[in-house]
Amino acid sequence: QVQLVESGGGLVQPGESLRLSCAASGINFNTYTVHWYRQAPGKQRELVASITTSGTTSYADAMKGRFTISRDNAKNTVYLQMNSLKVEDTAVYYCNGVWAWLGASQSYWGQGTQVTVSS
């Protein structure tokens, strides 16, 4: 059974930091490109950051310089370090693992972790 489990969310004040984790089981996460998405109340889900199997990273413009995505292949885990958090970063954060090869693909989602930034 494949599972992606996010953790590390919580309530923080503006300017503080959180590190989210996405731990995979049942798959070799090293072969998946992993994306972090977020969804705020009343808004569409948006892409936050991505990391490829080779470790290439990309970020949404609003997160550049504040968020860092990384992976620990030995732990089958991807992280999202979030610094200088803002109220507008409040959302449920989801990880998404995508595997694609020669026309076949698989995509798995975690259940989400709530991040609330409030003074």
pLDDT for position 24:
96
Report residue 82 as tokens: 């979030």
Confidence grade of residue 103 (pLDDT, cut at 50, 70, 90): confident
Are 65 and 80 contacting, i.e. CB atoms less than 8 angstroms apart?
no
Is residue 101 pLDDT above 90, yes or no?
Answer: no
* Percent of the chain with pLDDT strictly greater than 90: 95
pLDDT for position 100:
87
Is residue 118 pLDDT above 90, yes or no?
Answer: yes
Is residue 67 pLDDT above 90, yes or no?
Answer: yes
Is residue 45 pLDDT above 90, yes or no?
Answer: yes
Q: What is the DSSP letter of 41?
A: T
Pinpoint the alpha helices (H) of 2-105. none
